[in-house]
Structure 1
Amino acid sequence: MEMKSMSTAAVLVAVVLASTVLQSTDAANYTVGDTTGWRVPPSGGNSDFYDEWADNKNFFVGDILEFNFTTNIHNVAEVTEAAYDRCNGTNPISIHSTGPASITLNRTGEYHFICTVLGHCTGGQKLSVDVQSGPGTNSTPGSTPNGGSSSSASSPVAAVSVAITSVALVLLC
């Protein structure tokens, strides 16, 4: 009887672990500027480059912004809206000087990012995003909102997790 109890416990632990690993999340990872990365926008002086990059995306709590930049050439600072508008990086909320930098969007509302290297922000190296509390109703299950690459499991994997849990419960009862 003790052996059956231990094997039942082992199966239960395996099911719980499998379910935890296979659960889906809706978080998305975004590479700021895509292949351009985080730098003074390309030639042509497009000071709206990062605004245009963000325009077709919806950002949600839990999403991650990946700022790809060369250490000692750029940085990324979160600043207030007033500091963003003036390109003033003297009193940032936070600053990341080592690239690449991953920033998790952990609250709703506006986030404002600039490069504090002289002339970079005024040259267009600045980004403002508005973060919402949850994915919109137009998202399909297993998809990421508006083009972010997902670090999450897909819907079929979540379905397999439910199936494994169901089979294990039948076997244990």
Structure 2
Amino acid sequence: MGLAKKAMVLFWMMAVCEVSMGSVYKVGDSAGWTTVGNVDYNKWASTKNFLVGDIIIFEYHKQFHNVMQVSRSDFHSCNATAPIATYSTGNDSITIRWPGHYFFICGFPGHCLAEQKVDIRVLRASHPSASPSVSPSAAPYESEPAASPIGLITPNPSENSAPSLLSSNWSLSSKFGLSIVIVLASYISGFVY
């Protein structure tokens, strides 16, 4: 009976670790953020379930592309003259802070018109370790975020560091490592008590 209890606690702790970390999404998957290959970014986004706390990574050649967060109307008209935020490192890691729609385009001439744009729809549900739930005064789910990138989508401190594939793999390995630590701690505590 004691072993069954320990196993149940162990599995519960591992489950908590797994769901407490946001997912990492590389925009366009292996293609990245580009005009080459006719990537359908909105089709790509429609296959994902973005949640508050997730990380969106834009990987691209900074000599040829950038990433601009824009309003809904600027997204549809491909207007890059008044972006909410501009990212240009070639490896931009953006943490989603609130539910709603986030509109991104490439600001290089002609790229948005060539469909280098994506509407990231973030669901209301969040990972347990993400920011507290949205207050009633926050924007409703269907609306676009306010015209300020601060607090809505913020670059990760590591945006100028290792390539995003390493960031993605690090996230996966950190989950595994944390699970191993919990398993060992549970196992050792079982022998101590």
- TM-score bucket (shorter structure): 0.5 to 0.7
Does the CA-based 8 Å contact 1:41-1:124 persist in structure 2?
A: no
TM-score (norm 1): 0.66
Identity of aligned residues (%): 35
Query: How far apart in 2 are the matches of 1:160 and 1:103?
Result: 28
Aligned partner (choices 11, 28, 38) of residue 33 of structure 2 = 38
Offset of residue 103 of structure 1: 1.1
| CA RMSD between the two structures | 2.9
Larger-Rg structure? 1
**Pair 1:134-2:129 in alignment:** no
Task: Go from structure 1 to structure 2 and tell me whether the alpha carbon gap of 1:160 and 1:71 turns closer, same or farther (over 3 Å shift).
Answer: closer
Query: How far apart in 1 are the matches of 2:109 and 2:56?
Result: 23
Query: Which letter does structure 2 place at the counterpart of 1:161?
Result: I
Query: How far apart in 2 are the matches of 1:41 and 1:53?
Result: 15
The match for 2:8 is none
Does the CA-based 8 Å contact 1:31-1:66 persist in structure 2?
A: yes
**Pair 1:164-2:185 in alignment:** yes
TM-score (norm 2): 0.60
- The alignment partner of 1:27 has SS state of coil
Structure 2 residues not aligned, in runs of 5+: 1-12, 128-167
- The alignment partner of 1:111 has SS state of strand
Offset of residue 58 of structure 1: 0.4
After TM superposition, where is structure 1 displaced by more than 6 Å over at least 4 residues in a row? none
Task: Go from structure 1 to structure 2 and tell me whether the alpha carbon gap of 1:159 and 1:42 turns closer, same or farther (over 3 Å shift).
Answer: closer
Q: Report the number of matched residues.
A: 134
Does the CA-based 8 Å contact 1:83-1:89 persist in structure 2?
A: yes
Task: Go from structure 1 to structure 2 and tell me whether the alpha carbon gap of 1:83 and 1:129 turns closer, same or farther (over 3 Å shift).
Answer: same
For residues 18-68 of structure 1, give each alpha carbon's deviation from its aligned partner in whole angstroms, at most 9, with x where no partner exists: x9xx9443311111111111011525xx6xx00111121100111111111
The match for 1:88 is 79
The match for 1:69 is 60
Map residues 72-151 of structure 1 onto 2, 5 A cutoff: 72-132=63-123, 133-134=125-126, 151=171
Moved more, 119-128 or 27-36: 27-36
